[in-house]
Amino acid sequence: MSQPKILLLGAPGAGKGTQSSNLVEHYAVEHVTTGDALRANKDMETEHGTPREYMEAGELVPDPLVNEIVKAAVEDAGGFVLDGYPRNLSQAEYLSDITDLDLVALLDVSKEELVDRLTGRRMDPETGDIYHTEFNMPDDEAVRDRLVQRDDDTEETVRERLRVFEENTQPVIDHYEETGELVRIDGEQAPEEVWNDLDAAIEDAA
């Protein structure tokens, strides 16, 4: 498939960023995330106002406005990987009205594995680089000594983020399961094995 249209679902820590990068590189598609799309179109005029008005007020950008921004992004792209959208059922229904997806893939990772992954993250405050206590620690001792855990990576915060994800996005996963479109990928494998399964799923969908 030359430039597939892919929806990638998965909880925080499931590996969507890594696999999205692989898709962009391998298939030359656009990586469309809600955050990036909103930042790139902060001043886009819609009947619901501009994203900037909500973002500067620290408010959630309403669904109809997010929908319009995503529509503009996917219409401009030959192929794409959508990451972080749809976040709820009404967005999923809107998406099916504006484009035909080639693949809906869920990176399936257990809650405890997600907690381990996210709480193990450490950041270098000088460079912003992200490391992990189990999988990826820097060789330089000075760098290791200055690593910090971000506030949003504490166990309490991580479990709350996962609860919110589940509450909002589980209906989306159920929706694609019911329509028969959902392909589950074992996200607990090594990243290259996850990629092999994802790539094979795309080829199967062709």
pLDDT digits (tens, 9 = 90+) for 102-118: 999 999 999 999 999 99
What is the value of pTM for the model shown? Answer: 0.87
- Contacts of residue 178, Cβ cutoff 8 Å, sequence gap at least 6: none
Neighbour tally for 174: CB within 10 Å: 12
pLDDT band, residue 1 (cuts 50/70/90): low
pLDDT band, residue 16 (cuts 50/70/90): very high
Assess whether pLDDT exceeds 90 at residue 141.
Answer: yes
CA 15 to chain centre: 8
Residues belonging to the active site: 16, 87, 121, 150, 161
CA gap 8, 82 in Å, rounded: 6
Identify the H or E element spanning 121. Answer: strand 121-123
Q: Angle of helix 191-205 relative to helix 16-27, nearest 10 degrees?
A: 50
The pLDDT assigned to 79 comes to: 94
Assess whether pLDDT exceeds 80 at residue 38.
Answer: yes
**φ and ψ at residue 156, rounded to 5 degrees:** -60, -45
CA gap 105, 83 in Å, rounded: 11
- Whose tokens are 């900037």? That residue is 52
Q: What's the full length of the chain, in residues?
A: 206
CB crowding 46-71: b at 16 or more within 10 Å, else e: eebebbeebeeeeeebeeebbbbbbb
Neighbour tally for 18: CB within 10 Å: 13
pLDDT band, residue 40 (cuts 50/70/90): confident
Counting Cα atoms < 13 Å in the Cβ hemisphere of 29 gives: 26
What torsion do the CA atoms of 32, 33, 35, 39 make, to the nearest 10 degrees?
Answer: -10
Would you put residue 122 in left (φ > 0), alpha (ψ -120 to 50) or beta? Answer: beta
Counting Cα atoms < 13 Å in the Cβ hemisphere of 99 gives: 27
Question: CB–CB of 67/99 below 8 Å?
Answer: no
Q: What stretches of 77-135 show up as alpha helix (H) in DSSP?
A: 89-98, 111-119
